[in-house]
Amino acid sequence: MKRLPAFSHIQKTEKTVKKKFSPPQKSGITLAFIVMGLILFGLVMLYSTSTGTDKGAAFLIKQSLWILIGIICAALINMIGYKKILKYSNLLIILSCSLLVSALFSDPINGAYRWISLPGGFGNIQPSELGKMSVIIFLANYLPKHQRQLNYSMKSLLFPAAVCCAVVSLILLGRDLGTTIMLCAVIWLMVFAAGVRLKLLIPPLFLLPCIPFILKHYDKVRWVRITSFMNPEKFQQSTGYQLWLSILALGSGSWTGLGFAKSRMKAHYLPESHTDFILSIVGEELGYIAMVILILIYVLFLILAVFISTRAKDKDGMLLGFGITSMISMQAIINIGVVCGAFPTKGMPAPFISYGGSNMIMCLIGVGFLLSISNYKGSKSKAESKKNIAPDKKNRTKTSKTHV
């Protein structure tokens, strides 16, 4: 039996609706909803941690403005496409290095040269955040173009190694050891994902045991801060003060928490409760159950981001997505580990939740790149385009003959 033309048209429209979104695009949409949920949750918890303070309203206004800027940047990246932005990777490296150098000559905050003050008292920007993103973009653009050379010669690694060392060294000079170590780990993982042989990647790992030795003998203050997490109760009045209060906050919250906006530690006890230690207030007010749910949401973000990266149409997109995923995931792991006392105290904000403009904008820019990777359909070759054009010409001639 012949199908009626009306029913065949309905079946065609159903097929087009089903094929409207590919699996990576669906993952990108889900990822966007997860990120928006984390951002809204962060704003709610920022309101909770800043209630009763003079700067509570200012914190919310500034954070909302930074979120808006980050969303606009993510939307623009998704519209422009990551392929076009990768072409300007060298300019981004130069820009980030110049900002990092200017931060070294700015006024120190808590003994570190990590920030540049904005005019009008609006706040500070942290150039190391741009430095991390620029290195990821640079490697995603450079490594696929020199794939064959990287596998056979060490000389081909000298230029990207020099660029990465320049950015890493400037971040380290600003006394930001945690960001330096995290960026080195992201660089190593990206080079490994690019297919470089292990015999070229294993030698840098032998430098890791030198870090504790250098800190112990040449930076004793930082060494005491790092080792105090092993016994925070002993150092609760000195270097372990912040970590000890964070553990007390989590312990007092138990499974169900004390209730929203009922934290005791945020009231002039726990320093930086709205930034790096905001998850301590989450555990105190909402309990362990909320913390477990939050960790599962971060894990879901990681799974979706890895899926988008592995389904990228080219190696540029795969490396870019892998680098951004590694950066955001490591940041979440370090923040949760610091809050729980598993890692030494480090000023690493919780992605999409902690108060802070530079990190929030860069995380949202990373999400914009992931969405662009999920929406990228790839560039067709000339042979494929000719094959697609040929059947269209045959169909046109057939239709013209039937009309005649």
What is the pLDDT of the chain when averaged over all its residues? 82
Contact 99, 129 (CB under 8 A): no
Q: Where are the alpha helices (DSSP H) in 118-176?
A: 127-142, 147-152, 158-173
CA distances from 82 to 114, 229, 315 (A): 28, 41, 12
**Minimal CA–CA distance to 353: which of 269, 306, 286, 400?**
286
Distance CA 78, CA 64 (A): 21
Task: Tell me which of 213 and 87 has the higher pLDDT.
Answer: 87
Mean pLDDT of the 265-294 span:
84
CA distances from 28 to 9, 294, 329, 337 (A): 30, 19, 17, 27
Task: Express each pLDDT in 17-72 by its tens digit.
Answer: 445 777 878 888 999 999 999 999 999 999 888 776 666 678 888 899 999 999 99
Contact 156, 146 (CB under 8 A): yes
Is the per-residue pLDDT at 390 higher than 50?
A: no
Mean pLDDT of the 225-242 span:
73
Is the per-residue pLDDT at 3 higher than 60?
A: no
Distance CA 263, CA 280 (A): 10
pLDDT of residue 56: 67
Of the ranges 78-92, 159-173, 237-251, which one carries the lowest mean pLDDT score?
237-251
pTM here is: 0.85
Q: What percent of the chain has pLDDT over 70?
A: 82
Element of type H or E holding 230: none
Task: Tell me which of 111 and 376 has the higher pLDDT.
Answer: 376
Distance CA 88, CA 396 (A): 43
Contact 115, 106 (CB under 8 A): yes
pLDDT of residue 220: 67
Q: Strand 124-125 to strand 116-117: parallel, antiparallel, or no bridges (unpaired)?
A: antiparallel
Is the per-residue pLDDT at 190 higher than 70?
A: yes
SS3 341: coil
pLDDT of residue 112: 78
Task: Give the contacts of 299 (CB within 8 A, at least 6 positions apart).
Answer: none
pLDDT of residue 219: 66
Torsion of CA 122, 128, 134, 135, to 10 degrees: -170
Is the per-residue pLDDT at 388 higher than 70?
A: no
Task: Express each pLDDT in 83-101 by its tens digit.
Answer: 999 999 999 999 999 999 9
Mean pLDDT of the 172-178 span:
86
